[in-house]
Amino acid sequence: MAGTVRIETYRIVLALTLVYAFFNFRTVLKRADLTDVLLLGLIVIAFASFWYNHSLQKAIESTGLYSLETLGAFYLAKLFITTPERYYKINQAFIWILVALTLPAVYEALSHHRILHEWAERITGHISIDYRLYTSDYLRGNIMRTTSVFAHPILYGTLAALFFPFAILLFWRQQKIRQFIAIFGLSLSMLTTLSSAPLLSLIFQGFTVLLVKFWHTARRFWVALFFSGLAGAMLIQALSNRGFFGILISYLTFNPNTGYFRLLQWEYSMDDILDHPILGIAHNDWTRPYWKDWMGDSIDSFWLLVTLQ
C-alpha cells in the first residue's frame, strides 16, 4: 500500500510503461490517431466527474489511478506490439501460458484446493483472494469454480475466451496437433470456471467460425437465419412477461439468480444515467429501490459502469 493506493505488480508495469511513453513522446505523438484523442478525452471527463461529484483531491487521486490503468495498458500495447510478428508471438505466448494453467485448474476444480493462490500467499504473506471464494457459493455440484491465478473465475474464463478465436484460427490454418491441444486446453479451462459468460462466448465464437467458413456458399441462409432470429426475439419480447433477455438468462446461465441481478443492475442504474448523462455519479452509490436492500452495490457490466460513473 502507498497511502490509499494498493501497489500491485501490474500497476508497476503500467507505470513504467507511462514513464517510457513520456521519454518517447515524439514517437507517441507520431503514432497518435483518433483513439489516442478519445482516450485522453475520457480521462478529462473522468477528472471532471470526480471533481464535480467529490472533491479536487479525490479527482486527482482517482483520475491518476484511472489514467494509469487505461493509458498504461493502451500504450503498453501500442509501443511494443508494433508488427504482425509481435502480435502473433504475444498471442501465442498467452495461449500457451493459459494452457499451462489447465492442469492446476482441473486439480483445483476437483479437489476444492486453490493451490496456486495458496502458494502465492505462502510466498508473499498476503491473502490474495476474497474469502468467499472458498465457500459453498462457488461450488456447483461437486465442482469448485476455478480461479487459477486470477481474483475471480469470471476473469480466468474471460481471458481464456479472449484468446480462443486466435487458437481456432491457428488450428484452421496449420492443423497441427499442438494447435488442437491449445484449443482443448482453453476449452477445458473455461469449463472449469463454470461461468456462463465465457461459455456463451465460446458458443458465439463457434457460430461465428461457421458463419465465416460457409458465408459465401450459404449467404442467403445466414441472412434468413439472422432475420428469423431477430423476429423470434422480438416476438418473445412482446408476448412474454419475462422478456427475451429474462428467458435467455433462465436457460443459458448456470445460475439464473446472478443473471437476474444483472438485469436489475441495468434496469435501475438507468435512472442515474438519465439524471447525470454527462458527468455521471463517479463513486457515489447508484439508486436501488428500498425493498432491494439485499442487492450489492457492484455493477458487473464494464461499459454500464463506465457510463454510470
- Residue 59 dihedral angles phi and psi, to the nearest 5°: -65, -40
CA atoms within 13 A on the CB side of 160: 35
**Contact between 246 and 277 (Cβ < 8 Å):** no
Specify whether the backbone of 55 is left (phi greater than 0), alpha (psi in -120 to 50) or beta: beta
The residue type of 189 is S
Let me know the angle formed at the C-alpha of 223 by 221 and 226, rounded to the nearest 5 degrees: 105
**Contact between 145 and 156 (Cβ < 8 Å):** no
DSSP state of 291: G
User: How far is 254 from 199, CA to CA, in rounded Å?
Assistant: 10
Q: Given CA atoms 209, 214, 215, 220 in this order, what sign does their dihedral have?
A: negative
pLDDT value for 267: 82
**Contact between 140 and 194 (Cβ < 8 Å):** yes
pLDDT in tens, the chain (309 residues): 444 566 677 888 888 988 998 898 888 888 889 999 999 999 999 999 999 999 898 889 889 889 998 999 999 989 888 898 999 999 999 999 999 999 999 999 999 888 888 888 888 777 777 778 887 878 887 888 898 888 888 889 888 988 988 888 888 787 788 888 888 999 899 889 888 778 777 777 777 777 777 777 767 777 777 777 788 778 877 777 777 777 776 666 667 677 777 788 888 888 888 888 888 898 888 887 766 666 777 787 788 888 888
Of 161, 159, 122, 99, which Cα lies nearest the Cα of 114? 122
User: Could you tell me which residues come within 8 angstroms of residue 205 by beta carbon, excluding any fewer than 6 positions away?
Assistant: 161, 164, 165, 168
pLDDT value for 37: 92
pLDDT value for 252: 66
Q: What Å distances lie between residue 22 and 14, 16, 43, 44, CA to CA?
A: 12, 10, 17, 18
